[in-house]
Each structure stands twice: as structure tokens, then as C-alpha cells.
């Protein structure tokens, strides 16, 4: 499957080259030849763009004969809020949003994503409420992050 993923990645990257604000996040292929391609954008990605990418990639995959029997399905979507952040560009576009970080050591940090650079992120965590609230700023290296999820706060 890894060879197929690499071929699909090459093709979708060529398609995405038309719009540098959009980027590939991940490709998953199930044993049933269900291909799931996750695309994000620095300013989000619209449904119209996702439909266009799906049609273009489907045509390329059919013409290239990656699945000789033609027995594949293709889904092109943006990662949902339930999907963890995987790329620095995703962190960048989510500055000022609340995140939950699970570190490699199993510890958890919940707070507002303030900054992102090439090697680390800065998160502001508030513990307690009212006058007893304490703000702690965490600098977390990307290599220490196991997963990061966007948190919805109302």
C-alpha cells in the first residue's frame, strides 16, 4: 500500500500546485481500496475546491491504472475538528484557538495557541477561575507532541 500512497501523493501534489494556499495533510488507503485524501488550506479550503480536487485526482488515478480493476473509491476532504493537527501549517492557521496537547510523556496541556515557529509552539494555559486564576505559558517542542486537537470553547 505504501507504493500506492506515494503515487497518489505525487499526483495530488501536482494538482495542488495550482493553489499554494492549499496543502496535503494525509492520505489513508483502506484494504477495500477506499482512498481518503485530507487537504487543508492556510485560510481553509472550500467545498468547491475539494470537489475539483476529487474529480481531477479520480481522473488521474483511472487513467494511470493504479487499480486495474477500477475497484477504488476516493474521498477528498478537509480534516475535521476531530482530526489531530499534523503539520506546522495547520498549527499556524489555528493561532488564537484553544488546543489540547498530549505530550509524548503522556502529560496534557490545554490552552490557547499563541505562537508557532519551525521547532516549537507556545500555549497559554489558564488554571483556576476569577481572581485566583493563574496563567502559565508553555513552550512545547514539536518532537515532544504526541497529538494536538482543536478545542471548541463557547
Question: Would you say 9 and 15 are in contact if contact means Cβ atoms under 8 Å apart?
Answer: no
- Residues 98-109 have a mean pLDDT of 97
Domains of the chain: 2-77 (3.30.300.70), 88-151 (2.30.30.100)
The number of helix segments (H) and strand segments (E) in the chain equals 3, 8
What would the pLDDT profile of 23-52 be if each residue is shown by its tens digit?
999 999 998 899 999 999 999 999 999 999
Question: What's the confidence (pLDDT) of residue 66?
Answer: 78
Helices in the chain by DSSP H: which ranges?
A: 2-16, 47-64, 88-93
Residue 145 or residue 131, greater confidence:
145
Question: What's the confidence (pLDDT) of residue 60?
Answer: 92
In this predicted structure, the answer to whether residue 154 has a pLDDT above a threshold of 90 is: no
In this predicted structure, the answer to whether residue 123 has a pLDDT above a threshold of 80 is: yes
Amino acid at each position: 500500500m505504501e507504493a500506492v500512497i506515494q503515487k497518489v501523493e505525487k499526483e495530488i501534489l501536482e494538482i495542488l500546485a495550482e493553489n499554494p494556499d492549499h496543502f496535503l495533510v494525509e492520505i489513508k488507503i483502506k484494504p477495500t481500496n477506499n482512498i481518503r485524501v485530507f487537504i487543508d488550506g492556510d485560510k481553509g479550503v472550500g467545498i468547491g475546491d475539494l470537489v475539483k480536487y476529487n474529480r481531477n485526482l479520480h481522473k488521474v488515478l483511472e487513467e494511470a491504472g493504479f487499480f486495474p480493476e477500477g475497484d477504488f473509491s476516493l474521498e477528498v476532504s478537509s480534516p475535521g475538528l476531530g482530526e489531530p493537527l499534523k503539520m506546522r501549517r495547520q498549527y499556524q492557521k489555528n493561532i488564537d484557538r484553544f488546543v489540547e496537547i498530549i505530550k509524548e510523556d503522556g502529560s496534557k496541556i490545554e490552552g490557547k495557541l499563541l505562537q508557532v515557529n519551525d521547532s516549537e509552539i507556545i500555549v497559554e494555559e489558564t488554571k483556576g477561575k476569577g481572581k485566583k486564576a493563574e496563567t502559565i505559558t508553555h513552550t512545547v517542542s514539536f518532537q515532544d507532541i504526541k497529538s494536538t486537537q482543536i478545542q471548541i470553547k463557547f
